[in-house]
Each structure stands twice: as C-alpha cells, then as structure tokens.
C-alpha cells in the first residue's frame, strides 16, 4: 500500500475551526511540517478538505 507525504504550505491563522481540527487530526502542526500517512479514503477526504492549504505526494 502506498503512503502519502502531506505538507502544510499555507498558514492556519484565520481559518475556520473545522479546518484547524482537520490539520491537527492529520498531525500537521507548523508551516512546512510534513507527515506520512497511509493512502486511505479517510486521509484523501481530509486532504480534499484542506486542498488549498496542503500539498501531497505519493511515497513508497
């Protein structure tokens, strides 16, 4: 199964609480912080919700 490397590229300041909690659930804490998560439908949904704040790439 592939993994996704997710990086926070835009600030969470001024964002709605739901977006901040989604970023926290993914484990993103600071700007340019990256985490590796499994490629599951739940994680893809979280990325879609934060599409304007994060970038991601597939890693093996």
Answer yes or no: are the C-beta atoms of 21 and 48 closer than 8 Å. no
Q: At what angle do helices 41-49 and 17-26 cross, to 10 degrees?
A: 140
Task: Tell me the whole-structure pTM to 2 decimals.
Answer: 0.91
Residue range 13-43, pLDDT digits in tens: 999 999 999 999 999 999 999 999 999 999 9
**Structural domain boundaries of the chain?**
3-59
Give the pLDDT band (50/70/90) at residue 50.
very high
Q: Which two tokens stand for residue 56?
A: 């991601």
Q: What CATH number has the domain spanning 3-59?
A: 3.30.1390.20
* Confidence (pLDDT) at 10: 97
């Amino acid at each position: 199964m592939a993994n996704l490397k997710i990086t926070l590229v835009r600030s969470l300041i001024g964002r709605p609480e739901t977006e901040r909690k989604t970023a926290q659930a993914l484990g993103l804490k600071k700007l340019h912080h990256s985490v590796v998560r499994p490629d599951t439908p739940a994680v893809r949904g979280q990325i879609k919700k934060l599409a304007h704040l994060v970038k991601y790439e597939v890693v093996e």
